Structure 1
Amino acid sequence: MSRWRPPSEKSSPYITAEGHARLKAEFEQLWRLRRPEVVRALSAAAAEGDRSENAEYQYRKKELREIDARLKYLTLRLEDVKVVEIKASGEGKVFFGAWVELADQEGETRRYRIVGADETDSGRGWISVDSPVARALLGKTEGELVKVRLPAGETEFEIVEVSYAAES
């Protein structure tokens, strides 16, 4: 059995202004603070002698590779993303950046915000614009019933409220 996996689908290039600022801040923090600190520690570990048995040297090399990989990803992603200015539509229609309150068939409500793939945070209720729920919601209005195909099966939600105000 092989370990090969098909490449994942490319995510949408959309991002909110806040998400873009967070990615830039992460890049700056890694580039200006974290990477120089790791390079200094790596140089100090290399100066200790035999590198093949030096655990600190091996660890710092691995850490530097991980930082460089993340910096490469952030560089490419920041060039690719398109910042979407979120404007309240006033029509109660779901678009990128919207906060959407949904009620399921049992009457339980959930609140989601539709954001870019780099901003998803399940703890805050932020879902990717590429997710099945977000795809089903886009373009719909308050009061509409929406069928969503989830891993557990097809579910129906009612759109209770759509807003573009900051998190409440």
Structure 2
Amino acid sequence: MNVPGRALWLFFICFVFSISSCGIYTFNDVSIPDNVKTIRIGFIENKARYINPSLSAQLTDAFVKKVASQTKLTRIDDLNADYVVNAVINHYDVTTSGVSSTSQASLNRLTVGVHLTLIDNTLKDQKEYDVSSTFDFNANVSLAQAESTLMPQILKDIPDAMFNKIFSNW
């Protein structure tokens, strides 16, 4: 291998190593003021038209774990915490997103939306955010069948979106 080829190969290896070692989320991506030390995360209520009975508890747990793993905030159950996060599942809707050549639905789309309220007790401020994600599934399966395969992705994408809205200003 010639010298320019080796240099290019070495650059590529260093680049791959640097992006793989930093991960998607680092403490550098999180913008939390130094005076914010505690957080209260309320139970995420499900007020969507269709209620998946296990989604509230699973989503709350996934978001709590995300915050715990990506920040140094201490979780407390006190409304006087530095940050208080409340959330409501306000969308859980299925629509047709693909049609076959026989004019029948071939693909359905589940949209999951969450409305967030962040109370910053250090600044006496309140902000509201909306996040949502879509999940496609085959129209030949029922929603209950689709939920069993989509749930791991829902429990990853929605807490990620919530986290990014609150802490990363994405």
TM-score by length of 2: 0.25
Bigger relative contact order, structure 1 or 2 (CA pairs below 8 A, ≥6 apart): 1
- Which structure dedicates a bigger proportion of its chain to strand? 2
TM score, norm. by length of structure 1 = 0.25
